[in-house]
Structure 1
Amino acid sequence: MGKDSKAAGGKGKGKQPAGGVMMLHRRVKEKQERGRSRNLHICQRFLPFSATSHGNSRHILCEKQGKINEAYKKLQDGWLSNGDKVPPAEFAKIAAEYSECPSGKKGGDLGWFPRGKMAGPFQEVAFNTPVGVTSAPFKST
């Protein structure tokens, strides 16, 4: 356990031990996963699903609670406070303004997707929200 044990530990100049690369990779992956778990959504189902196996929804995705709350307040002030359903065109306008997802440019339209493709909480809300109804903000990956 003389000189060789120090070199194997990687404390010399120049080379980093393989474990350090794995540790860095793990930290990057953990940071990405933490970022994904903080996504907040508002979902609107706007077409009936085909035999409950495929869905078609719009959504607004934001990383910050304040931003999703602001978008939801706009929806509430215009429609939800009256108990009315938010028209798809109005939801699309707010999605284009607030959503941080690439689908925001298309009014939050996610197109048709099969059951099982979306993350658990999002899928549950998307498939269980009545047509035309807008969900409250919720967290999803």
Structure 2
Amino acid sequence: MGKDGKAGGKGKGKQAGGGSDEASSKGKGKAGKAADGLGTCTYVKARHVLCEKQGKINEAYKKLQDGWLSNGDKVPPAEFAKIAAEYSECPSGKKGGDLGWFPRGKMAGPFQDVAFNTPVGVTSAPFKSTHGYHIILSEGRKN
């Protein structure tokens, strides 16, 4: 997964399931984000599901909703990994969608925006990039 140079995409910055909508209602600026690290960290640890077809990513997301998100729960990384292994068309799917730690600037466009603006432990809503449709689980952030 490299830079795709495109901005925009459905679900950008949108949180799914439990947690507040506080982060998604904030603007792009750094003001107000320092306390939770959103938008200010240098590295993010994430897992993702990548599908070429929107229908397939929606099916994976529905499994996450039915199991956890509709109850306001956070998806456990091990369970997200099972969904990634089953649905993801990215080579990382074999590793449960694990992308490890990556720095700001490595991923471009909507993928980076969503990864760096999704609170730790939260699963993003499906969104589109030039590589296909994604769901991200944020697992950590650091400077």
Q: 1:16-55 maps to which residues of 2 (within 5 A)?
A: 52-55=41-44
- Displacement of 1:140 after TM fit? 1.1
2:66 counterpart of 1:77:
yes
- How far does the alpha carbon of each residue in 1:102-136 deviate from its partner, in whole angstroms, 9 at most, with x for none? 00000000011110110210001001001110001
- 1:124 matched to which residue of 2? 113
- Residue in 2 that maps onto 1:92: 81
Cα distance, 1:97 vs structure 2: 0.2
Which structure has greater helix proportion? 1
Q: Which runs of 5+ in 1 are unaligned?
A: 1-32
Aligned residues: 98
- In the superposition, the TM-score normalised over structure 1's length comes to 0.64
- Post-superposition Cα deviations, 1:39-85, rounded to whole Å, max 9, x if no partner, equal x99xx9xxx89x71111100000000110000000000000000100
> Aligned-residue CA RMSD in angstroms?
2.5
Higher relative contact order (CA 8 A, sep 6+): 2
Structure 2 counterpart of 1:9: none
**Misfit runs of 4+, over 3 Å:** none
Q: What residue ranges of structure 2 are gaps of 5+ in the alignment?
A: 16-36, 131-143
Higher-Rg structure is 1
Identity %: 85
Please give the alpha-carbon distance, in whole angstroms, between the structure 1 residues aligned to 2:108 and 2:93: 18
